Structure 1
Amino acid sequence: MLENQTTYSKMIRFLELFQLNDTDEAGTIESVRKGVEFKGTNLWTLIFAIFIASIGLNVNSTAVIIGAMLISPLMGPIVGAGFAVGTNDFDFLKRCLRNLGIATLVSIITSTVYFSITPINEAQSELLARTTPTIFDVLIALFGGATGIIANTRKEKGTAIAGVAIATALMPPLCTAGYGLAQGNWSFFLGAFYLYFINSVFIAIATFIFVRYLNFRKVDWGLYKDKEAKVRIYLIVFALITILPSIYTAWKIVQSSLFKSRANLFISHHFDSPKTKIIEKNIISEGKKKIELTLIGAKISEENLKNIKNKLPQYKLEEAELNILQDLSSPNVESLKYEILSEVYKNTNTTEERQLEQLRKELKILFPELTSFSLTESKEFRSEENKYENFHLFLTHWSKNPQEREKEKLRLFIETRMGFEKVKMMIE
């Protein structure tokens, strides 16, 4: 009997660790009501934060996006809506929803204006990440909202609220929705706005749950008290309707990830060998599933390929079509060679441009009267030797004609600096 009482006491002490004491009800109500208003300072802060977040998405800067989320006041009316439902204050709920609507509209207009005038139209990875919401975003919003309301109800607020603002990511989806409108891309707009919507809904739901758990004072409905149960049912149904599309999206992402993982395992087991090199790999997990490989090295016989294809079901890849390209005379391989050479040429040109830019800076210091120059590679036919000789032609423009000694000094400098064997200089 004594042993049972000791065990029970230990359980009680353990459960007491999870109790939320020191609730500042008056301070929480004041803080929530203050954060709901969107006029003056709050409205201008929101506009500037949207501009900052849009620029961060545009230039793919995570640091800038995080900074915008930290200064954004967008979470105020969302937390206020959950707080209002939790305390049965539906007059306050109307105010929260009205202000949230204004904030959302202003945010989308601001981001649309920015993405309409920016010269960078390409969608960066930070922007693309906000177009496909999943169940994981729902969980982040739910746990983030719970953290936010718990932190908000403490007398010592701490830094949790700032972390919640970053984790739940309300700003980037709105900016991405603005990008979708500016580019006329409705799939971007709808995907991003849906992410913003589910974030908002589940932050509000988490707030509602903890407001009820902490037993905040409710507004008395009087004769309409029986409708409180109906409101809870409506809230649950609304949450389920909101969450279903994100569950489907998450399921598709998980299935795609599993297919790619199995495909890579299959490839490593059957095609990764010292005699064979994979120069191109393409795994298609959407629609008709395919595994496409381009190989060089020892050619795999048709019989061996057939045996390898028969092993696809062992990796749960029976639906996948396996395409192996080994013929080096194939047009696809020629195309691949062209792409590789183009990339090499592009990288070479980029390196040369950097060298010329550095050369320009150095010449500006060493030869200030040299106003412009061009450097080209050329050939000279020498008839007495019956052969061509390579050289670099250095064409220059000067603000004042240089002396012969200065010209020779410049020519030798170019040969040494650029590593050329022969440079001929001309003055225009």
Structure 2
Amino acid sequence: MEHPSHSPKSKNKILQFLIYIRDRFDLEEGKEDELETIEYIRKNVEFKGANLWILIFAIFVASIGLNVNSTAVIIGAMLISPLMGPIMGIGMAAGINDFELLKRSLRNLGVAVFISILTSSIYFYFTPLDNAQSELLARTEPTIWDVLIALFGGLAGIVAGSRKEKSNAIPGVAIATALMPPLCTAGYGLATMNLYYFFGAFYLFFINSVFISLSTYLIVRFMKYPKKEFLDQKKEKRVQTYITIFTILTIVPSVYLAYGIVVRTLWQEQARRYVEVEMKFPKTQVLNSEADFSKEPRLIQVNLIGEELDAEMLEIIKGKATDYGLDQTEVIINQSGNGSTDFNVLRSDILKDLYERNEQVINDKNQRIALLESEVANYAQVRALGGEIAKEAKINHPGLQKFTLNRSLVTDLQSQKADTLLLAYAEFQPKPSKTESDKLVQWLKLRTKSDTVALILY
């Protein structure tokens, strides 16, 4: 007897499901002609004329965004930027064995990088805002996430570029892979002579560029784009050799560097977890911690404040580092009372910082108090004058029955601005003429030394 799962009906359903899945993920549907896609990428490789000016303006916008720490401005600059063209051109050229396109792409990428760094260096050299903001500092050291974003972003970019209907994926890839901010940060490093920022940011740009090119190369090979043909077989083999050497020289070091980034990222995450989990105490707190992967051996330094821990407890905590894969890592724990010079300096810096912050808060509060006191004094002065002015006004206007004077905040709905206005309320019996009311207003302006007085009559 045939097993139910092996019945023709079951096999047919499985086959239909597999066909459905294949159709869902079929890259052939909606694909542009290969030669059209190659030409589309070839056109976007060149950096001259309008493209070059757009790049310069985009670099200025991105540099300003990094300078003032505005994420929205940085995103806008990445949308404008045409940097993706030559990077995808490199991957396309390697995939179809087009050595001429490869040389053009590399040459134009070099021009774009040079112009970008030069432009951002000029901006950061002259800008009065020379502090490194968080958006800028985030581009000085690549992580595993940057590698993955560049790889998957590049895959999305070349797939979108190979469609008949061009989508907004390529601008999205430019934003996700963040090619411009690292170049601007490299320019900042050059302008301030900070080589750590320069090389760190340029390293991030290099990694992003290589993995975008790699993803383009993989998709071009996967979709079997036609390779460039040569009449001379020797020349074809020579070109293929050049392309292969270039690909190996680019990809192998990049993969090695990416592996180093993965190791460092995992170590930093384990170091963070180690401090977070193992250094929780009832009467002692972690003031701050620093994990340095670059030192040999690797170093975790923690500063504690509160009740001191005994030597035995400290040794137990240090021994637990191996449970987190931190075998070749030195753990240094400074306590508030252990006489550590570094910690005393740190404590001094913290106290200084707290003092400066509190001083600023006090100054702000003093300014607010002074402003409020001024406002209260003005209101008190008006109230004090109100009684005197009412008696004087009664002499000049016998029909005046009730009178009050006060300051009021009035908002102009057209300009959306608020201003303080002197407001007078008067009851007459009988109702005064226009001449009498105008006379009262002019007298109030003179008496109160105000430019404007609003009079409400009843």
Q: TM-score, normalized by length of structure 2?
A: 0.69
The answer for the alignment partner of 2:364 in structure 1 is 354
Whichever residue aligns with residue 73 of structure 1, its letter is P
Residue deviations 1:104-158 (CA, integer Å, cap 9, x gap): 1111110110111112222222222222224443332221111111111212222
What is the CA distance between 1:309 and its match in structure 2?
A: 5.8
Stretch deviating more after TM superposition (348-357 or 80-89) = 348-357
Q: Do the aligned partners of 2:271 and 2:300 also contact (CA within 8 Å) in 1?
A: no
2:80 is the counterpart of 1:71:
yes
2: CA distance between counterparts of 1:58 and 1:23? Answer: 42
Alignment of 1:202-281 (within 5 A): 202-224=211-233, 225-227=236-238, 230=241, 233-234=244-245, 235-268=247-280, 272-273=281-282, 276-278=283-285, 280-281=287-288
How far 1:165 moved relative to its partner? 0.6
Residue 195 (structure 1) shift: 1.9
Distance 2:132 2:56 in 1: 22
Of structures 1 and 2, the larger Rg is shown by 2
SS in 1 for 2:232: helix
Is the 1:32–1:80 Cα contact (8 Å) retained in structure 2?
yes
Contact 2:271 2:291 in 1 (8 A): no
Task: Select which of 130, 150, 167 maps to 2:176.
Answer: 167
- Count of residues paired in the alignment: 363
For residue 115 of structure 1, the aligned residue among 124, 145, 148 is 124
Alignment partner, residue 323 of structure 1: 333
Q: Say which is worse superposed, 167-176 or 92-101, in terms of deviation.
A: 92-101
Task: Choose the corresponding residue for 2:205, options 188, 196, 203.
Answer: 196
Query: What are the equivalent positions in structure 2 for 1:18-33 lying under 5 Å apart?
Result: 18-20=25-27, 21-25=29-33, 27-33=36-42
The answer as to whether partners of 2:270 and 2:326 remain within 8 angstroms in 1 is no
Letter in 2 for 1:263: V
Partner of 1:101: 110
Contact 1:263 1:283 in 2 (8 A): no
CA RMSD of aligned residues (A): 3.4
> In structure 2, how many angstroms separate the alpha carbons of the residues matched to 1:165 and 1:330?
48
Pick aligned residue for 1:56 from 65, 84, 87: 65
Q: Does the 8 A contact of 1:134 with 1:247 survive in 2? A: no
Question: d(CA) in 2 for partners of 1:243 and 1:330?
Answer: 42
Instruction: Give a deviation string over 1:31-80, Cα, whole Å, max 9, x none.
Output: 32332232222111100100111111122221111111010011112222
Q: Any idea what SS the aligned residue of 1:222 has?
A: coil
Question: Partners of 1:133 and 1:285 in 2: how far apart?
Answer: 15
Cα 1:227–1:345 change in 2 (3 A) is: same
Matching of residues 130-141 of structure 1 within 5 Å: 130-141=139-150
Q: Which residue of 2 aligns with 1:125?
A: 134
**Paired residue type of 1:19:** D
Tell me which amino acid in the other structure corresponds to 2:256: L
Decide whether aligned partners of structure 1 residues 65 and 213 sit closer, same or farther in structure 2, where only a CA change above 3 A counts: same
Do 1:260 and 1:283's aligned partners in 2 also have CA atoms closer than 8 Å?
no
Query: Which residue number in structure 2 is paired with residue 376 of structure 1?
Result: none
- Residues 284-363 of structure 1 aligned to structure 2 (within 5 Å): 284-286=291-293, 287=295, 289-297=299-307, 300=309, 319-323=329-333, 325=335, 327=337, 338-339=348-349, 341-355=351-365
Q: Distance in 2 between matches of 1:106 and 1:195?
A: 18
User: Higher mean Cα deviation, 106-115 or 94-103?
Assistant: 94-103
Moved more, 311-320 or 288-297: 311-320
Q: Secondary structure at the match of 2:306?
A: strand
Deviations 1:226-274 (A, max 9, x none): 4565356322443112231232133123213212311321112xxx21x
Question: 1:292-315 CA distances to partner (integer Å, 9 max, x unpaired)?
Answer: 343424x55556556666666556
Amino acid at match of 2:191: A
| Residues 357 and 48 of structure 1, relative CA distance in 2, 3 Å threshold | farther
Change (3 A) 1:145 1:340: closer
Structure 2 spans left out of the alignment, 5+ residues: 1-6, 379-446, 449-458
Partner-residue secondary structure (3-state), 2:131: coil
Gap change, CA 1:303 and 1:67, over 3 Å in 2: closer
Alignment of 1:91 with 2:139, yes or no, is: no
Bigger drift between 58-67 and 9-18 goes to: 9-18
Contact 1:132–1:249 (8 Å) recurs in 2: no
Q: Distance in 2 between matches of 1:151 and 1:202?
A: 17
Q: What is the CA–CA distance in structure 1 between the aligned matches of 2:344 and 2:147, rounded to whole Å? A: 47
